[in-house]
Structure 1
Amino acid sequence: MEYSFLLFAFICGLSVKLIGIPPLVGYLLAGFILHAVGFNATEELTTIANLGITIMLFTIGLKLNIRDLGRREVWANSLLHTTAWVALCSSILYGAAVVISYLTELSIASALLIAFALSFSSTVCVVKVLEESGESKTRHGKIAIGVLVMQDIFAVVFMVVATGKIPSVYALLLLLLIPLMPVFYRIINKSGHGELLPLTGFIFALGGYHLFEAVNIKGDLGALLAGLLLARHGKAVELAKSLMSFKDLFLIGFFLSIGLTALPDTPMLLTGLALCLLLPLKFAMFYFLFMALRLRARTAFLSSLVLGNYSEFGLIVGALAVSLGMLDANWLVIIAISVSTSFVFTSIAYKSSHQQYNRFKESLKRFEKTERLNEDIYPVMTNAQFLVIGMGRVGIGAFTSLSNLAKDVVWGMDADRAKINSLKHQGHNVVLGDGEDIDLWENLDMSQVRLILLALPSIEDAINVTSQLKQAKYEGKIAAIARYQDEVDILLDNGVDKVFNFFTDAGLGFAEESLSYIGDHPAAK
């Protein structure tokens, strides 16, 4: 049965990918079709889905800086948005109940519960979309993830209050995990770089989950905090990457299970779709709150766009309310329709997010505050002639080689603040910046830059950066890395001047360096 589900999910995922739509839309569609022909979610599929969420929360923790949650634009926006949304959305729902016969039995308490369930943004959808676009470590990506974590905390608090289930007195023993951190760090060090590393990640993620469940605290919070405790380890990023494919595979079960939730009748379907008409309101509330907190228009726009959906946590909150007799069971089906439909909207809308911002940026920037946050002040590059964008392993290698030849006219750029701070501490010429930010390029002095090297993880990123540079009237040359042969022509067709095949050119460089080490060359024979 599960194999048939996965096979159909693969067919639907591949089909929508071929027409330029993210695969997760196909997985949702597969769930709806399977349910329409009589299938239901199985216990095994639910287990796979839950495992995917647990691993995802653990990897979020691994990449999360606790200081990000303390930023005003994160905690203040989360609190204000949830409060304002619940007040406004519940008023709209209760007002609609007066004129729509299907909703006549909706009470104020029910309207408040539904509004609260719809106040959350989807952790699964947002993280998936950000990772697919390579933007989880950008300014807007970190803000969005910070808001999600705050919302998850609100949900946990609600469930504790609603069930009257308070944490066990043994919960205090969880504090003993802190002095055990050196032991956990040693375990990660000894796990190496092979198959034992992702297994170690599974042990920590599931261990955190079950420890918290054992003391009457939501296990998902335990997985998140387990990742957070290990985030400062030197192998945290490697550990997160080793779990990426497992997480993506298990989350297919989650998207399928959403579609398999229930089969709605026509009024339920129409009500669920009607609730999606409130998504632009959700986006607008996020955007104007971000602007009031002095974010740049682009950061506010992208953060709001990716957060403009409904959450799987809404289903959890709704299911709890139904089980406690606080909400009619039909509303769980309606919320499921709204949640899954919102995933589709976000996945499709965010695919062209940078183009949308470029189109509307003049209107959006009218709401910017004169005084900027320190994180949003544009950087300055002095005498830059060569710029490396993306300071991962390949980028740092290129940056170091160029610096040895051209010294101080070489600069590096990355969207990861922690990485940039570390490189600055080492004395390198680097700036914090998102290469896909058209405002950044329009405010940087690029007149002397002769060559830009794109050392980015995906060709989509390289294509987007190239497009922004062309729009900003950059006249120098652009070079990029391709990991596969079929990507070379795609990059060249999209404006890149020179493309290096990562594996072919790495092998050539390795051979040349090795021969120079022994002072020999085949041509000399």
Structure 2
Amino acid sequence: MEYTFLLFAFIFGLTVKVIGIPPMVGYLAAGFVLNAMGYNLTDDLQHIADLGITIMLFTIGLKLNVKDLSKREVWAGSITHMLLWTLVVSGALFGIGALMGSITGALDIKSAALIAFALSFSSTVCVIKILEESGESKTRHGRLAIGVLVMQDVFAVIFMVAATGKLPSPWALALLLVIPALPMLYRILNRSGHGELLPLTGFILALGAYNLFDLVDIKGDLGALIMGILLARHPKATELSKSLMAFKDLFLIGFFLTIGLKALPDTNMLILAVVVALLLPFKAFLFYGLLASLRLRARTSYLTSLVLSNYSEFGLIVGSLAVSLGMLSDQWLVVLAMAVSISFVVTSLLYKNSHSRYVRIKDDLTRFERGNRLKEDIYPRIDQAEFLVIGMGRVGMGAYQSLSKLVDSRVVGMDADRQKVRKLCDGGMHVICGDGEDIDLWDNLDISNARLILLALPSIGDAINITRQLKFAGYNGKIAAIARYEDEINTLLENDVDKVFNFFTEAGLGFAEESLAYVHANQDVIVPVK
């Protein structure tokens, strides 16, 4: 990646972050500014962008539970949304073409349907980036959104086969040999340790799967996703995903730059892109209506529909294919690129305050809820708990175990990751599944006996949001949280957290105290040296 590209990405990313906008918006803006200055998309930058998407799909697979895809709300919601969206939007685009023919050019119903289909996809890159930055990829709505994205990837592969008439190679059946090879791959992961060899192992596995699938004429990105899914049950899957996170984020900067560098619009194209972007509310409403009809709670339907209300980079692939087949004019590529960019900005900004906005509009949204709940959406009971630990990672586990030694059964843990909760419960711990930022959860959870709630979360944004939800729900007990950096402590205290512990300082203090207690407990066996 050229230094100029990196410099502009840094300047624009930092600028928008300072004013409270996600850096992703700045990277998109940097791409368009570089384009206007005469810079062109290079092969090296495109390779970096492609690598970022491949690693991202691999890490999605590492955190994906295949059972999530079999849920009715995932497959039925995805298929129905795509069919209804394509039907309605193709008619709308055909009408727009009739009214704005001088701008859109010739647009028959077949071309309109193709564009509508391309716009039915949501951006994997944008959605995953938002969910990870907000720490919500393991929540109910996060897992649902990822499930929909995976289903859309499957639709994408089917479309590419149908559009090009190019069937996978007969050798594609040999890919099934990866399954009996899993024990060997597991051993490789075990041997890779915890240092620089671990992310390198991840690169080799992700890119190896990509090239294997590409070799037999199947979308290579799908191979990276499936490889991640196959390795998701390995004990080191979470560690492997975290080790790749920094690389993935850096490479994805290249992807956002490529969006702006692909083409520069004129006034007519910009107008048309804005018109296409105005269809985004319909996309969100359609998702919400379908998910609510499938018996999901209002909050889950709202957050899922909001994070999925964007257009996908796959629309550019469909557009390129349609142009090469003579089905669309060249200008639609530019329009689609602009519409995708606008949708990224809209979703990033709207999702930023989604939780506080839900508190204001929840009464209107809950009117569309179905009375009978899905099994996953039934709230648990913890009416006897005096201490609640939210976030059962390493810090949360340590806090839970220490408190349990002191107050026994009056301690309850909570985590949004259902698989983790099930595993901890099997181990004899009292842990419930819940999203701390869910105001509906606190409205339905009896925490009247809770004296202390510990927020063992890495993101201070999540800690602040949960604190606000607790106050809205009328909680009057104490709230403690952790901070990784000194400048985060005052921010948390200013937002009604009663006590903040510096993660690294307290870890050293705990280590010293535990070691000292061990020495005192074993003094009777210490033999002085003469």
If the length of structure 2 is used for normalisation, what is the TM-score? 0.97
Quote how far apart the aligned CAs of 1:104 are. 5.0
Per-residue deviation, 1:323: 1.7
List aligned pairs for 1:470-481, cutoff 5 A: 470-481=471-482
Asked if the contact 2:383–2:448 (Cα under 8 Å) also holds between the matched residues in 1, the reply is: no
Tell me the C-alpha RMSD between the 2 structures: 1.0
- For residue 205 of structure 2, what is the aligned residue in structure 1? 204
Shift of residue 103 of structure 1?
Answer: 2.8
Q: How far apart in 2 are the matches of 1:330 and 1:97?
A: 13
Match of 2:109 in 1: 108
In structure 1, what is the equivalent of residue 343 of structure 2? 342
CA contact (8 A) 1:211 1:222 kept: yes
Inter-partner Cα distance in structure 1 for 2:304 and 2:58: 22
Per-residue Cα deviation, 1:486-524 (whole angstroms, up to 9, x for no partner): 111110000000000011111111111111211199xxx
Counterpart of 1:78, as a letter, is: S
Contact persistence 2:380–2:445 (CA under 8 A): yes
Give the stretch that moved more between structures: 216-225 or 320-329.
Answer: 320-329
Counterpart Cα distance in 2 of 1:328 and 1:79: 28
**Does structure 2 retain, via aligned residues, the 8 Å contact 1:294–1:373?**
yes
Please show how residues 128-277 of structure 1 align to structure 2 within 5 Å: 128-277=129-278
- Per-residue displacement from partner, 1:227-260 (whole Å, max 9, x unpaired)? 0111110000100000000000000000000011
Amino acid of the structure 2 residue aligned with 1:430: V
Unaligned runs of 5+ in 1: none
- 1:98 and 1:491 map into 2 onto residues whose CA distance is 55
> 3-state SS of the aligned residue for 2:278?
helix
Paired residues of 2:383 and 2:449 also in contact (CA < 8 A): no
**Matched AA of 2:360:** R
CA distance, structure 1, for counterparts of residue 519 and residue 98 of structure 2: 86
Q: 1:519 is paired with a residue of what secondary structure?
A: helix
One-letter amino acid matched to 1:492: L
Counterpart position of 1:23: 23
**Residue 6 of structure 2 is aligned to residue 6 of structure 1:** yes
Indicate conservation of the 8 Å contact 2:297/2:369, yes or no. yes
Aligned ranges for residues 299-338 of structure 1 at < 5 Å? 299-338=300-339
Opposite residue 354 of structure 1, the aligned amino acid is H
Mapped to 1, the partners of 2:441 and 2:189 lie a distance apart of 39
CA deviation vs aligned residue, 1:118-172 (integer Å, no higher than 9, x gap): 0000000000000000000000000000000001110110001101111101111
Whether the 8 Å CA contact 2:421–2:433 is kept in 1: the answer is: yes
Distance in 2 (alpha carbons) for counterparts of 1:124 and 1:398: 35
Look up the equivalent residue of 1:93 and give its one-letter code.
Answer: L
Q: Is the 8 A contact 1:98 1:104 kept in 2?
A: no
Deviation beyond 2 Å, 4+ runs, structure 1: 101-104
Q: 1:387 is paired with a residue of what secondary structure?
A: strand
Would the aligned equivalents of 1:155 and 1:317 in 2 still touch at CA under 8 Å? no
Check if 1:467 corresponds to 2:441.
no
Cα offset, 1:324, TM superposition: 2.0
3-state secondary structure, aligned to 1:407 = helix
Alpha-carbon deviations, 1:175-215, whole Å to 9, x = none?
Answer: 11110000000000000000000000000000000000000
Q: Does 1:69 align with 2:69?
A: yes
Tell me which amino acid in the other structure corresponds to 2:50: N
Write out per-residue CA displacement over residues 50-100 of structure 1, whole angstroms, 9 at most, x where no aligned residue. 000000000001110111000000000000000000000000000112221
Q: What amino acid is aligned across from residue 94 of structure 2 in structure 1?
A: Y
Q: 2-side partners of 1:372 and 1:70: how far apart?
A: 18
Q: Do the aligned residues in 2 keep the contact of 1:388 with 1:413 (CA within 8 Å)?
A: yes
- The question of whether the paired residues in 1 share the 8 Å contact of 2:389 and 2:400 is answered with yes
The answer for the alignment partner of 1:88 in structure 2 is 88
The letter of the residue matching 1:252 is I
Judge conservation of contact 2:296–2:377 (CA < 8 Å) in 1. Answer: yes
TM-superposed deviation, 1:326: 2.1
8 Å CA contact retained: 1:459, 1:491? yes
Partner residue of 1:451? 452
Number of the residue aligned with 1:40: 40
- 1:399-439: per-residue Cα shift (whole Å, max 9, x none)? 01101110111000000000000011111111110000000
- Residue 398 of structure 1 aligns with an amino acid whose one-letter code is A
Partner of 1:419: 420
Count matched residues.
521
Once the 2 structures are TM-superposed, how far is the Cα of residue 320 of structure 1 from its aligned partner? 1.5
Name the residue aligned to 1:396: 397
CA distance in 1, matches of 2:458, 2:294: 32
2: CA distance, partners of 1:382 / 1:305: 33
Do 2:53 and 2:125's aligned partners in 1 also have CA atoms closer than 8 Å? yes
The separation in 2 between residues aligned to 1:78 and 1:452, in whole angstroms, is 38
1:261-301: CA deviation from partner (whole Å, max 9, x where unpaired): 10111111110111010000000000000000000000000
Paired letter, 1:394? V
Residue in structure 2 matched with residue 501 of structure 1 by the alignment:
502
TM-superposed deviation, 1:382: 3.9
Q: What amino acid is aligned across from residue 18 of structure 1 in structure 2?
A: V
Identity fraction in percent: 67
**Hey, what's the Cα distance between the residues in 2 that align with 1:467 and 1:5?**
40
Does 1:51 pair with 2:46?
no
